[in-house]
Amino acid sequence: MVTVLYDEDCGFCRWSADELRAWDRRRGLTFVSIQNPRGAELLHAVPVAERLDSMHAVTPDGRVWSGGRSVPVILAELPGGSTLASIAATFPGTTEWFYRLVARHRQRLGRLLGQRVCSVDPSREGSALEVDVSGRLAYGRGMAVAERQMRIQTSLAPFLRGILGSAPLLGDPDACDFLAGNPEVPALPGYVETLQKWLEPQDRRWFAYGMPDPRAAEAASAALADELGLAFDPEDIILTRGAHGAMALAMATVLDPGDEVVFISPPWFFYEALILGAGATPVRVRANESTWDLDLDAIGAALSARTRMVLINTPNNPTGRIYPDDTLALLASLLERRSNEAGRAVYLLSDEAYSKILFDGNVMRSPASHYARTLVVHTFSKSTLAPAERLGYLAMPPTMPAREALRQAAMSAGLATSNMAPDAVMQYALPDLLHITVDMERLQLRRDRLLEALRAAGYQVHTPEGTFYLLVRSPIDDEGAFVRRLAQDKILAMSGDMFEMPGYFRLSITATDDMVERAIPVFEKAISETR
């Protein structure tokens, strides 16, 4: 007997007895309430609903899982010899005993459904046994939140799972934190003094409602002109709360429901959530894994009549790759051709958050030099090592068609989404903050020290051309398990499943030199244990 567990008391989805019986007949399954699971020692419930080829489930603590057309189903034996099929097997809260049961009975369970039994790592999507579940149930009543938010929560689940898993060590003075691009040293020289200077009111309307400070836009446009060689108009610089806010504003300005946004995988954690939040459809394209360059053929194949935007990030987080200028020129030609064929503009959103974090004398080129419809995203979070102080901007090059219409649309989009300009003090400080940047010589020395030590220990490490990050291949297939092994000795690293790179982990070199030296023996010991 194959049994599907569900939660009859969950407000997210309530099945009627008739619906369950109908599905029983179609699928040959038996549904069992979590309130009466026949003695099974289960610690989580799995209510399920399906709509528009998407299946969702919620754990008792409120976490959400959502799958596409192929929904993971995990099987294990229950006391008494019956078989349990638990939809949405990849919940963080799934109990270890459940996976041990699956591991013990892999072959028999595989024969039962004629399916191949995959790995039993609970941190991986599709773990244990995958079975296509394609029936449609009535969607269920009592839905508390928008379906779009369910999809957004799903896209964020790997990131949140990784951060929550690291939470016990965050802030531990003995931990070596390579998890995120956070400062582990005092503020850069002059940073605090700059904010203090502009915090002091200079007139009675210093903190009043008003239009964005024109001096900030003028300074940003001049800096962009020096950096990119394009004469940006200050009116085309839209101040935002960081790069995150700039991307959200760009999407709110040009995307309609049903539009598609092509983005590159491995991605920054929040790209998919931003696209879904704008009501658009995310379309992944994998980077060329031999070089981490853009795969232009794959991008071309992904473009459709619904494509409204392509999103790239250079220098790239997490790979550290700076996209070559000739590649960007070819991408521009591809998008220009597609825009002309479709009779509808395809925008290129260029996330250039790490444009000042460049190693080995590398130079970054912006696609804005090649493609008129490029929306450029900048932030001060990286260059000033102050990610909690939100300041950035969205910029349109002078070649952008319909600039005036886009300016007006961006203003209304900001009002409609509460994505207004940064706090007044940050705007006042912007011209001074342009001159406060991380010490790249010291950062490169730290990068080189860690590269040398890791390679000497036997790790395969990609040399980043920019950004704060080292991309390291895990010495075992299960990078999550290896990251957890490092955490046992208080080394925090980011598992590849957080950014769609199984088999890798990421290290941030914003950690201190002392952390690097204390961590190296742990890295050496951890890899030796795998041999």
Q: What average pLDDT does the structure give for the chain?
A: 78
Across 106-110, 153-157, 166-170, 249-253, least confident range: 106-110
d(CA 263, CA 283): 6
Percent of the chain with pLDDT over 70: 73
Q: Which of 270, 181, 122, 269 minimizes the C-alpha distance to 492?
A: 181
pLDDT of 420 reads 72
d(CA 230, CA 352): 15
Tell me the backbone φ, ψ of residue 468, rounded to 5 degrees: -95, 5
Of the pLDDT bands very low, low, confident and very high (cuts 50, 70, 90), residue 22 is low
**pLDDT for residue 44 is more than 70:** no
383-251-51 Cα angle (round to 5): 125
Of the pLDDT bands very low, low, confident and very high (cuts 50, 70, 90), residue 211 is confident
What integer is the mean pLDDT of 500-526? 96
Crossing angle of the two packed helices 513-528 and 440-457, in degrees rounded to 10:
20
Q: DSSP secondary-structure letter at 72?
A: B
Please, are residues 38 and 32 in contact by the beta-carbon 8 Å criterion? Answer: yes
130 versus 252: which is more confidently predicted?
252
d(CA 4, CA 33): 9
pLDDT of 87 reads 37
Residue 282's DSSP bridge partners are 261
**pLDDT for residue 317 is more than 70:** yes
Q: DSSP secondary-structure letter at 130?
A: B
Q: For 387-422, how does the pLDDT look when each residue is reduced to its tens digit (9 = 90+)?
A: 999 999 999 999 999 999 999 999 999 999 877 789
**pLDDT for residue 85 is more than 80:** no
pLDDT of 411 reads 93
pLDDT of 418 reads 79
**What global pTM score does this model have?**
0.76
d(CA 345, CA 421): 26
pLDDT of 144 reads 59
**pLDDT for residue 479 is more than 60:** yes
Percent of the chain with pLDDT over 90: 60
- Give me the domains of the chain, ranges plus CATH numbers: 2-113 (no CATH), 149-185+439-530 (3.90.1150.10), 200-434 (3.40.640.10)
**pLDDT for residue 197 is more than 80:** yes
**pLDDT for residue 488 is more than 90:** yes
Reading the block at residue 518, the tokens are 């204390």
pLDDT of 99 reads 43
439 versus 119: which is more confidently predicted?
439
Spatial strand order in the sheet of 469-473: 460-462, 469-473, 504-508, 494-495
**pLDDT for residue 73 is more than 90:** no
Q: For 384-395, how does the pLDDT look when each residue is reduced to its tens digit (9 = 90+)?
A: 999 999 999 999
